[in-house]
Amino acid sequence: MPAIVVIGAQWGDEGKGKIVDHLAERASMVVRYQGGNNAGHTVTIGSTVLRLHQVPSGITRPHVAAVLAHGMVINPPALVEELDRLAALGISTENLHISPNAHLVMPYHILLDEAEEELRGAHALGTTRRGIGPAYTDKVARRGLRMQDLIDPARFRARLEVALERVNLELTRIFGREPMTADEIVEKYAPAAERLAPYVEDTSLLIQKALQRGETVLLEGAQATMLDIDFGTYPYVTSSSPSAGGACQGSGISPRQVSAVLGVVKVYTSRVGMGPFPTELKDDIGDWIVERGHEYGTTTGRRRRCGWIDLVSLRYAARLNGFTGLALTRLDVLSGLSRIKLCVAYRLPDGTETTEYPLDTELLAQATPIYETMEGWEDEDLSKARRVEDLPPQAWAYCQRISEWMGVPIDVISVGAERNDLVALRWPV
């Protein structure tokens, strides 16, 4: 009964969608366990580029059940729109399952996300402004609305009216915004409720039954380890737990059922939004990586900050998640660089060196990377490589160095955007 967790090891946008799509070939179920439509997972099938926000990447495989588990915060109208877009592309969305316990992103969460960001001014977090933080705040404050409320019209209106009493005080008195009415929200959410109701069922039970039948279940993390509310660069993080512990909590399975934890590592680093990023390149090479890697956000279109690979934070991610294998992605992007740098330690302001990731965010912001330099490889098309021998020796040496530093074997290397542009070395379990 293998459950395989797939997690981003950096600040997101590692290319998890493509890796999940690859593994989904042999799985019966893909489960999203946290986050909402702040995520943007891209899967390229031939000339079709799918951008998924709430629906798990496994939806592309007809035999795979796509589960939105209770650790998620779901924006119902946005989910309906996503389902419509998929249907228009001829992708069946029938095998979708939504937890009744998943919380709802409400229109006022989006207003509050924007208002809070504006109030923070120079200290803004750079959120996706999708209402994710305020939705999780309401969940933890035990005043959120859930999918089970949405699909019961009377209950939804009653709970919404109670919620609005507080929300409107916040909107008007703290942020000087207009209050919201239950009617306007019901009008927007009722059609989505009707549309999504048939998909709502106990997903934790559904996952358990699949595991008991011996099927492979993929648990797909959104965002990534360094954006984790507990382990990331707080407060420049998302409001959920993308890391391995969150996978069990958000999907409702036991840690004893997880057979493998795959860490998805982009072979350089990128970050959207604010927060410390020791290996960020603010020079021509940084710009070159952005353009060559088309490093613009799938969800917000923002230019991503780019830099060299950071093995200090990657070792931290490997320790926290217990990675059993690595998926190295976007190797093709670095083709053509004569030298490639890998950050192997940080120099701290007091002059000391460390290979351990500092938990103090202020200290991290002042850390200077210490690099090891490796030889690059020619600007050649790697996308046709299917075996290690097809890769330039320098590219393979670079991959091996990452694996050695992290102490984790390589399962797969992605060498292009298309679904099959992969060098597969081993299966996670």
Would residue 70 show up in a list of annotated catalytic residues for this protein? no
Q: Which stretch binds ligand IMP (CB under 6 A): 16-24, 123-131, 322-330, 359-367?
A: 123-131
Three-state DSSP class for residue 219? strand
Burial of 45 by CB count in 10 Å (0-12 exposed, 13-18 middle, 19+ buried)? middle
- The yes or no reply on residue 127 touching ligand IMP (CB under 6 A) is yes
Binding mask 172-201 for ligand IMP (x = CB under 6 A): ------------------------------
- The yes or no reply on residue 313 touching ligand IMP (CB under 6 A) is no
Query: Is the CB of 115 or the CB of 410 nearer to ligand IMP?
Result: 115
Q: Which stretch binds ligand IMP (CB under 6 A): 79-87, 126-134, 152-160, 201-209?
A: 126-134
Three-state DSSP class for residue 373? strand
Query: Is the CB of 2 or the CB of 35 nearer to ligand IMP?
Result: 35
Q: Which of 21, 22, 41, 113 is catalytic?
A: 41
CB neighbours of 121 closer than 8 A, spacing ≥ 6? none
- The yes or no reply on residue 238 touching ligand IMP (CB under 6 A) is yes
Query: Is the CB of 125 or the CB of 348 nearer to ligand IMP?
Result: 125
The Cβ of residue 120 has, within 10 Å, a number of other Cβ atoms equal to 14
Binding mask 128-167 for ligand IMP (x = CB under 6 A): x-x-xx----------------------------------
Would residue 113 show up in a list of annotated catalytic residues for this protein? no
In the complex, the smallest distance separating the C-beta of residue 297 from ligand IMP, rounded to whole angstroms, is 7
- The yes or no reply on residue 370 touching ligand IMP (CB under 6 A) is no
- The yes or no reply on residue 13 touching ligand IMP (CB under 6 A) is yes
| DSSP secondary structure string for all residues of 329-361 | E-GGGGTT-SEEEEEEEEE-TTS-EESSPPS-H
One-letter amino acid for residue 136 of the chain: Y
Q: How many helices (H) and strands (E) does the chain have?
A: 13, 19
Sheet holding 217-220, edge to edge: 96-98, 65-68, 29-32, 217-220, 3-8, 258-266, 325-329, 410-414, 422-424
Q: Which stretch binds ligand IMP (CB under 6 A): 38-46, 64-72, 206-214, 364-372?
A: 38-46
Q: Where are the alpha helices (DSSP H) in 125-202?
A: 132-140, 147-150, 153-169, 182-196
Look-up of token digits 């959410």? 189
One-letter amino acid for residue 3 of the chain: A
* 8 Å CB contact between 241 and 228: yes
- The yes or no reply on residue 116 touching ligand IMP (CB under 6 A) is no
In the complex, the smallest distance separating the C-beta of residue 203 from ligand IMP, rounded to whole angstroms, is 21
User: How many of the chain's residues bind ligand IMP (CB under 6 A)?
Assistant: 20
- The yes or no reply on residue 39 touching ligand IMP (CB under 6 A) is yes
Taking alpha carbons only, the member of 2, 33, 389, 40 closest to residue 243 is: 33
Q: Which residues are the active-site residues?
A: 13, 41
Residues near ligand IMP (CB under 6 A): 12-13, 38-40, 125-128, 130, 132-133, 222-223, 227, 236, 238-239, 272-273
